C-alpha cells in the first residue's frame, strides 16, 4: 500500500497518512514554460496498491488534469491497483440534462478517470447519488452525517430541529435527525412571477435551535436565505453543517452578515486564510478517509462503518 498526493489538499493528505501510519509516496510536479503539467514518481510502485489523493476544488480544471496525468503515470509504472481518493468530486452538480443541449459533465469525469486507468474511487458526500452509477469501477462513498452529529452532540444544544434546505437534501437531514433523535423540518423554495424566491417551512421551528445540513456551500445563497427564513419563523438560533466549503464569490461576506451562529465544514476542500472566519469551524475527515482506505486495502466492509 502506497499513498501519493497532488496539489489540491496537501494538508489533508498528510493527516491521512499519519492516521494510517505510513509515509507519503515520493513524487514531484512541475510545469513546462507553456503551463503543461509534468509529473515524476520518484520511487518504484511496481505491483503496489496505490492510493492517489486529489480534490477538484479551485482551480478544478488544473487539478483534474494533474489527476489524470498521474493515473496514467502510475498505470505505466505497473501499479497493481490505482485507487483514486477524491474528497470533493468536482462537476457533480452537472449530473443530468436540466435543459436541452446540456452536457452531463459528472459522467464525463467518470469516463476520464476510468479511461486513464483508475481501479476504484473513494469520495465524500456526492452531490447526487446517481453519480455512482456513472462508473463501471467500485465506488466507496464516505458520509459525514455521523461526524457532524457527533460534534453537535458535544455542544449540548437544547430544543433542536434538523432542517433540509432543499428537497435533494431530505435523505441527509433525515439521517441526522435519526442520530440526534430530534424532529426534522423541510424547506420548499418557489419563485413567483417576479422571480423572487419564496420559502415555505414545513414543521415547527419557533423557539427551536435549527441545524441546517447540506452537502456544499457555493455562493452562500441557500444557507443564508434559509437562515433568515428560520429566524423570521421564530427559531432562536441557527447552525449549519456543510461537507464541501466551496465558498466562491460573495459567500464569506453573506455568512458574516447573516444571523447564522456557526457553520461547520470539513477539510475536503482546503480553505485559504482569507476564508477562515470566526463563524466557520473545520472538522477533519482524515480519520474517516484513512479508515475507509484501510478497509479497502484489507478487503473489509466499508458500509458497516456508516450503518453502525
pLDDT per position as a tens digit, 18-68 = 999 999 999 999 989 888 998 999 999 999 999 999 998 888 899 999 999
Averaged confidence pLDDT in the chain: 91
Pairing of strands 2-5, 81-86: unpaired
Exposed / middle / buried, residue 62 (Cβ in 10 Å: 0-12, 13-18, 19+): middle
Q: Which residues are the active-site residues?
A: 189
Res 1: pLDDT? 94
| CATH no., domain 2-143+287-307 | 3.40.50.2020
Distance of alpha carbon 142 from alpha carbon 123, whole angstroms: 6
Residue-wise pLDDT for 98-146, tens only, equals: 888 999 999 999 999 999 999 999 999 998 888 998 999 999 999 999 9
- Residues of each domain in the chain carrying CATH 3.40.50.2020: 2-143+287-307, 145-284
**pLDDT score at 277:** 79
Topology given in CATH for the domain delimited by 145-284: Rossmann fold (3.40.50)
Q: What is the pLDDT of residues 251-284, one digit of tens each?
A: 999 999 999 999 999 999 988 877 777 899 999 9
Q: Is the pLDDT of residue 195 over 70?
A: no
Residue-wise over 194-231: b if at least 16 C-beta within 10 A, else e? eeeeebebebebeebbbbbbbbbbbebebbbbbbebbb
3-state helix, strand, coil in the chain (%, to 5): 35, 25, 40
Query: Is residue 190's pLDDT more than 80?
Result: no
pLDDT value for 194: 54
In contact, 234 and 213? CB cutoff 8 Å:
no
State residue 166 phi and psi, 5-degree precision.
-140, 160
Torsion of CA 144, 249, 279, 270, to 10 degrees: 50
pLDDT at 249 over 80: yes
Tell me, what's the pLDDT at 243? Answer: 95
CA dist 51 and 81 (Å) reads 8
Supply the pLDDT for residue 115: 96
Q: Confidence band (pLDDT; 50, 70, 90) for 308?
A: low
pLDDT tens, position by position, 38-48: 899 999 999 99
pLDDT at position 28 = 92
- Residue 193: is its pLDDT beyond 60? no
Amino acid at each position: 500500500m502506497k499513498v501519493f498526493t497532488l496539489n489540491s489538499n496537501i494538508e489533508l493528505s498528510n493527516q491521512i497518512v499519519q492516521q494510517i501510519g505510513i509515509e507519503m509516496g515520493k513524487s514531484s510536479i512541475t510545469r513546462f514554460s507553456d503551463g503543461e503539467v509534468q509529473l515524476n514518481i520518484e520511487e518504484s510502485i511496481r505491483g503496489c496498491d496505490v492510493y492517489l489523493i486529489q480534490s477538484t476544488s479551485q482551480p478544478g480544471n488544473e487539478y483534474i488534469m494533474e489527476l489524470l496525468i498521474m493515473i496514467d503515470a502510475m498505470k505505466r509504472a505497473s501499479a497493481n491497483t490505482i485507487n483514486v481518493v477524491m474528497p470533493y468530486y468536482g462537476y457533480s452538480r452537472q449530473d443530468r440534462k436540466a435543459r436541452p443541449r446540456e452536457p452531463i459533465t459528472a459522467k464525463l469525469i467518470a469516463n476520464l478517470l476510468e479511461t486513464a486507468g483508475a481501479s476504484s474511487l473513494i469520495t465524500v458526500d456526492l452531490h447526487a447519488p446517481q453519480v455512482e452509477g456513472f462508473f463501471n469501477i467500485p465506488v466507496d462513498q464516505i458520509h459525514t452525517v455521523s461526524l457532524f452529529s457527533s460534534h453537535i452532540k458535544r455542544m449540548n444544544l437544547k430544543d433542536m430541529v434538523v432542517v433540509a434546505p432543499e428537497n435533494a437534501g431530505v435523505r441527509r437531514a433525515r439521517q441526522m435527525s435519526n442520530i440526534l433523535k430530534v424532529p426534522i423540518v423541510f424547506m420548499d423554495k418557489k419563485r413567483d412571477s417576479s422571480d423572487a424566491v419564496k420559502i415555505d417551512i414545513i414543521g415547527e421551528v419557533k423557539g427551536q435551535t435549527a441545524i441546517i445540513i447540506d452537502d456544499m456551500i457555493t455562493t452562500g445563497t441557500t444557507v443564508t436565505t434559509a437562515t433568515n427564513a428560520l429566524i423570521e419563523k421564530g427559531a432562536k438560533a441557527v447552525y449549519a453543517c456543510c461537507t464541501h466549503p466551496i465558498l466562491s464569490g460573495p459567500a464569506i461576506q453573506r455568512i458574516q452578515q447573516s444571523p447564522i451562529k456557526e457553520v461547520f465544514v470539513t477539510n475536503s476542500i482546503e480553505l485559504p486564510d482569507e476564508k477562515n472566519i470566526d463563524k466557520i469551524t473545520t472538522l477533519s475527515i482524515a480519520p474517516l478517509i484513512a479508515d475507509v482506505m484501510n478497509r479497502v486495502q484489507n478487503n473489509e466492509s466499508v458500509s458497516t462503518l456508516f450503518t453502525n
